[in-house]
Amino acid sequence: MHAESLRVLLDAVRTGQTTVDEALRRLETLPFEQLDFAKVDHHRAIRCGFPEVIFCPGKTTHQIVSIFGKLVEAGGNVLATRATPDQFGAVHGAFSSAVYHEAARCITLRQLAVKPSTGFIAMVSGGTSDLPVIEEARVTCELMDQRTERFHDVGVAGIHRLLSQSKALREARVVGVAAGMEGALASVVGGLVRAPVIAVPTSVGYGAGFGGLAPLLTMLNSCAAGVAVVNIDNRFGAGYLAAVISRIGDSISK
């Protein structure tokens, strides 16, 4: 190990086997990055609560089960996204504690004890088609120990449904919003709450929606301050970001 080779060098300096100049020369040509390697990876582990996410599309069931197994061995929580019920069946056959989240189309397996957050993340979606997007974000948050609450089917075309829940919404520490079509929901929510809003445009829509470009531009141009945007259909990313922000409010926050 690296720390060991450093110790050997310093011992040599201490005993006079190596001169200071020689040690200096060797230290300066040491590939500097190796010093930080383990530490950074350690940070990564702390950061996510799970080292890697399994993106199921394009993988065989065998591959999914196999990767799943390796992540289980690693000891953290495990997340597989865009999983079909059949793929879950195979995973569940091998790991009986794996759980399927149908709306989110995710498989999770929790191995770390839950440290529930003191606040909650509101998960808001406009229409039925946006549901899988916001649900994957929600499952991600939960696996990262953040409590969540659902506010589904509260699109701006029927603004009263959203407003009837605005009080509950205002109590959230972070708000995630998934919306396709014109994506106006993020702006309206941004105007109702003082918490930061994580907006994820979805590719739901057609024609001049241009595969999610319309809600993306809408969200970027939001007249409400406090709205942050992630990539179109970036389900996991939205959840991860919301969870990282929410953690700031927990005692373990930095």
Q: Is 94 helix (H, G, I), strand (E, B) or coil?
A: helix
Q: Judged by CB under 8 A, does residue 93 bind a copy of itself?
A: no
CB 77 within 8 A of CB 113: no
Q: Judged by CB under 8 A, does residue 35 bind a copy of itself?
A: yes
The radius of gyration computed from the CA coordinates of the chain, to the nearest angstrom, equals 23
Q: 121 pairs with which residues across the strands?
A: 148, 174
Least distance in angstroms from the C-beta of 91 to a copy of itself: 21
Least distance in angstroms from the C-beta of 73 to a copy of itself: 20
Least distance in angstroms from the C-beta of 71 to a copy of itself: 16
Least distance in angstroms from the C-beta of 177 to a copy of itself: 12
Q: Judged by CB under 8 A, does residue 40 bind a copy of itself?
A: yes
Q: Judged by CB under 8 A, does residue 37 bind a copy of itself?
A: yes
Kindly indicate which of the ranges 71-79, 93-101, 102-110, 224-232 contains the residues binding a copy of itself, using the contact rule CB under 8 A: 224-232
Instruction: Return the residues of window 114-133 that contact a copy of itself according to CB under 8 A.
Output: 119, 126-127
Binding residue for a copy of itself, selected from 23, 67, 99, 103, defined by CB under 8 A: 23
Q: 99 pairs with which residues across the strands?
A: 108
Q: How far is CA 84 from the centre of its chain?
A: 20
* Contacts with 67 (C-beta within 8 Å, 6 or more apart), sequence order: 54, 59
Measure the CA–CA gap between 78 and 55, rounded to whole angstroms.
12
Q: What angle do CA 207, 208, 211 make, to 5 degrees?
A: 75
Return contacts of 88-95, CB within 8 angstroms, 24+ apart. 90/61, 90/64, 90/65, 91/64, 91/65, 94/65, 94/68, 94/69, 95/68, 95/69
CB 113 within 8 A of CB 84: no
Q: Judged by CB under 8 A, does residue 62 bind a copy of itself?
A: no
Judged by beta carbon, residue 94 or residue 157, the one nearer a copy of itself is 157
Number of residues that bind a copy of itself (CB under 8 A): 102
Instruction: Return the residues of window 149-188 that contact a copy of itself according to CB under 8 A.
Output: 155-160, 163-167, 170-171, 173-174, 181-184, 187-188
Judged by beta carbon, residue 83 or residue 192, the one nearer a copy of itself is 192
Q: Judged by CB under 8 A, does residue 217 bind a copy of itself?
A: yes
Q: Judged by CB under 8 A, does residue 51 bind a copy of itself?
A: no
Measure the CA–CA gap between 117 and 45, rounded to whole angstroms.
19
Judged by beta carbon, residue 17 or residue 97, the one nearer a copy of itself is 17
